[in-house]
Amino acid sequence: MGEESELFRGLPEPEQVRRRTMRAMQNGLHLSTTALLAEDGRGGWVLRMIAGAGLDRSVHEGAPITDLGAAASVPKTRKAMLLNPDRPMAMRVPYQSRAVELAGAMAMPVGAGLLWADRRDEPFSDQEFESFQDAAQGFEELAIVHDRLRLAVGQVTDLTETVEGARAILEASSERECVKVLADAAIRQSRARTALVVLLGPTADDGVVVAGAGVVARDLIGTAVSASDGLVGLALRSGIAVPTNLRFLSNTDAVVGTSNLGLTPGEGVLVHPLGAPEPIGALVLAHGEFDRPGLIHGVRTLCDCTALLVKQFRLRDLVAHDAMMDGLSGLYNRRAILSRLVEAVASAVRHGTELSLLMLDADHFKRVNDRHGHQAGDRVLQFISETIRRNLRESDAAGRYGGEEFAVMLPHTPLLGAVTVAERIRSFCEASGIPLSSGSVTVTVSIGVASVGPGCKRADDLVAAADAALYEAKRAGRNQVKARQT
C-alpha cells in the first residue's frame, strides 16, 4: 500500500535492528556466540539469527532445532538464566547439535522466542547479565512497537479506503452507478478478488446480482437469487455479517443462491447485508482475508452508505413517478402527457415521422355520477383507463386529460392506423358491462383522432385538431370515431 510505504519509509525493519543489537552485544560483552531462536508454531524451534564464533557451525539460519540444550527450561519458566560453571566445560547449546566448551552462558525469553549468548574464555558478571537482559527486553519491545505501528498503519489505510469509498458512493448519480461503485470500493477495502452486490426485488423474496468486480463476478451479473438460500439468505435473515469465522468450510451453505463462487474450504468469504434493520440486499466478498481488525466496520460503513443512497434514489423515483401519474386511472396526468406530447410532436415535425393523437371522452358521464354515485363514476373511469392500456404498445402513452377525458399518443402511427386503435377501444367499451354494486352499466366513448400533417407545427396544433374531431363525434350522436389531418 502506498500509504504504508510512506509511513514506513526510513524506518528499519525489526530484523535489521536485532542484527545490529546482536553485533553491539557481541562487541560490548565480548561474546563468543549470540543466537536468536523462534517457535515454529508446531511445538519446535527455528534458528532465526546467529553471530560470533558459532557461525562456524553445521546448522544454518532458518534450520529447525529439536533440542534447546542448556536453555530448555527458559521457555517454560519465562525467566532469564545465567550459567557460570566453576571452570569451562562442554555444554549443549541451542544453535547446533554438538556440545561446545564454554565458560559462561546466558538465555532470556523474548516474545515467542529465545535469546542465547555464551563466552568461551571467562564467566559473566552480574552487571553483564543485567546488560544482557536489558538488550533482550529491547528485542521484545521493538517487535511490539513495530507490530503496533504496522497495525496502526493498516487501520489508517483501511480508514482512508473507507472514507474514499463512502465519498465515491455518495457522489453516485443513480442506483446503478451506486452499486457498481460499492463493488469497486469493497474490492479495494477488503483486498478480495471477488465482489458481488445483490439487491432484493419488491417482494423481498428474491433478488438479482446487479453489480460485481473480479473475474468470477462477470458471469453472475443478472443472475436471479433466492433470498432464502445460501449465505446471502443467512445475512438477510440475521442482519449481520456471515459466516462468523469468515471462512468457507466444507459444510458451509452455498454463497449466492446455489453457487459457492469457486471457493475451496478454508478460503475467506464475507457476506454483509445492505442496510438495517430491513436489508435491501447484500454485499458478497470472496477469495480474500477478512479477519483483520476494523475491516468489517469499514465494510459495514460502505454498505450502510449504499443502502441509504439507494433508498433515496428509489424515493426520488417514486416521488417523480407519483408527480407524473393520475392516482385514479393509473395513466399519466395532464401535465405529464402534454409534456411527452410536446417532445413527440417536435421530433415528428423535425424528422418527418408519423404521430397520431386520440382525444377520448366518456359519453353522458354525468348521468353515471348522478344515478349511481361518484364511486361508480370512478369505477367507470378505471374501466376506460384499463381498456385504453390494453390497446397500447410499449412506445405509446396515455393520460387522463381532465375529468372524463383522455389523451392517447401513438408514435409512428398514421391516421388510418390510429382510427383502427380508436375503433377497438370504442367497440370494446360499447360491448362491455361495467359491474357496480347496484348492477352493471355500459358507458360508451366518443373519440377524436388527429395526425401530424403539414399544418402541424407544435403540440397545440395536434391537440386542437383531435379536440375538433372529438366534438364532431359528439355532435354526430356520440359513440363514434372521427378523424382529422392537421
- Domain of 466: which CATH number? 3.30.70.270
452 half-sphere exposure, CB direction, 13 A CA radius: 24
> For position 3, what pLDDT does the model report?
44
| Residue 199: Cβ within 10 Å count | 20
Local confidence band at 2 (pLDDT 50, 70, 90 cut-offs): very low
User: Which residues, listed in sequence order, are joined to residue 226 by a DSSP beta bridge?
Assistant: 206
CB 114 within 8 A of CB 108: yes
Residue 392 in grid coordinates: 397500447
Q: Express each pLDDT in 335-349 by its tens digit.
A: 999 999 999 999 999
Residue 352 has what pLDDT? 92
Q: Which domain holds residue 193?
A: 172-320
Location of C-alpha cell 377497438? 424
Domain end (from 265, 297, 320)? 320
Q: Are both 267 and 375 inside the same structural domain? A: no
Tell me: do 312 and 181 sit in the same domain.
Answer: yes
Find, among 411, 397, 394, the residue nearest to 345 by Cα. 411
Closest CA to 276 of 241, 242, 244: 241
**Shared domain check, 299 and 341:** no
The last residue of one of the domains, among 79, 114, 148, is: 148
pLDDT for position 112: 79
Same domain, 429 and 460: yes
In a domain, 164, yes or no: no
Number of H helices, E strands in the chain: 12, 20
Tell me the torsion sign for CA atoms 324, 326, 331, 332: negative
- 227-242 pLDDT, tens digit each: 888 999 999 999 999 9
166 lies in some domain? no
Does residue 325 lie within any of the structural domains? no
What is the chain's Cα-based Rg?
41
Closest CA to 453 of 442, 445, 437, 464: 464
Q: Tell which of 291, 320, 349 closes a domain.
A: 320
pLDDT digits (tens, 9 = 90+) for 140-198: 777 777 677 766 666 667 777 888 888 999 899 999 999 999 999 999 888 999 999 99
d(CA 270, CA 288): 9
Q: Give me the number of domains the chain comprises.
A: 3
The verdict on 194 and 112 lying in the same domain is: no
Closest CA to 55 of 93, 95, 14: 95
Distances (CA, A) of 485 to 244, 354, 464, 470: 71, 11, 11, 13
pLDDT at residue 396 in the model: 95
Written as one letter, the residue type at 418 is A
Q: Which residue has the cell 478460503?
A: 267
Residue 439 lies in a domain: yes
Q: Is the dihedral of CA 150, 18, 61, 80 positive or negative?
A: negative
Query: Could you tell me if residue 390 is inside a domain?
Result: yes
384 and 267 housed in the same domain: no
Q: 222 pLDDT exceeds 60?
A: yes
Q: How far apart are CA 129 and CA 133, in angstroms?
A: 6
Domain identity same for 312 and 339: no
Q: What pLDDT, on a 0 to 100 scale, did the predictor assign at position 151?
A: 67
Q: Decide if 165 contacts 185 (C-beta within 8 A).
A: yes
Are residue 132 and residue 14 in the same domain, yes or no?
yes
Model pLDDT, residue 10: 55
Same domain flag for 434 and 462: yes
Residues 13, 59 share a domain: yes
Of 148, 153, 145, 152, the C-alpha closest to 17 is 145
Identify whether 423 is part of a domain: yes
Q: How many residues in total does the chain contain?
A: 486
- Does residue 167 belong to any structural domain of this protein? no
> Within this chain, do residues 287 and 397 fall inside the same structural domain, yes or no?
no
- This prediction has a pTM of 0.57
My answer on whether 110 and 185 are in the same domain is no
In this structure, what CATH number is given to the domain that contains residue 275? 3.30.450.40
At residue 362, the pLDDT reads 96
Q: b vs e for 367-391, b when ≥16 Cβ sit within 10 Å of the residue's Cβ? A: ebeeebeeebbebbbebbbebbeeb
Its sign, for the CA torsion 468, 471, 475, 480, is: positive
Q: Report if residue 21 sits inside a domain.
A: yes
Percent of the chain with pLDDT over 70: 94
How far, in Å, CA of 36 to CA of 20, rounded?
13
